Amino acid sequence: MTMRKAVDVSVDAMIEDLRTLVEIESPSRNPDALTASAQAVAAVIESRLGGQAVLVESEAGPHVHWAAGGDPKVLILGHHDTVFPLGTLERRPFMVEDGHATGPGVFDMLGGLVQAVHGLATLEDRSGVEILVTADEEVGSRSSRALIEERAIACGAVLVVEGAADGGALKTGRKGCGTFHVSIAGRASHAGLEPAAGVNALIEASHQVLDIAALGRPGIGTTVTPTVASAGTLDNVVPAEATVIVDVRVESAGEKERIESAFAALAPHLDEAKIAVRGAVSRPPMPESASAGLFAVAKRLLPGLEGKAVGGGSDGNFTAALGVPTLDGLGAVGGGAHADHEYLVVDAMAERATLVAGLVDAMQNAQEDENMRVL
- Active-site residues: which are they? 81, 137
Q: In angstroms, rounded to a whole number, what is the distance separating the alpha carbons of residues 18 and 334?
A: 14
| Closest to 182 measured CA to CA, from 213, 207, 202, 208 | 208
Residue 93, C-beta contacts closer than 8 angstroms, at least 6 positions apart: 23, 103
Q: In angstroms, rounded to a whole number, what is the distance separating the alpha carbons of residues 163 and 153?
A: 23
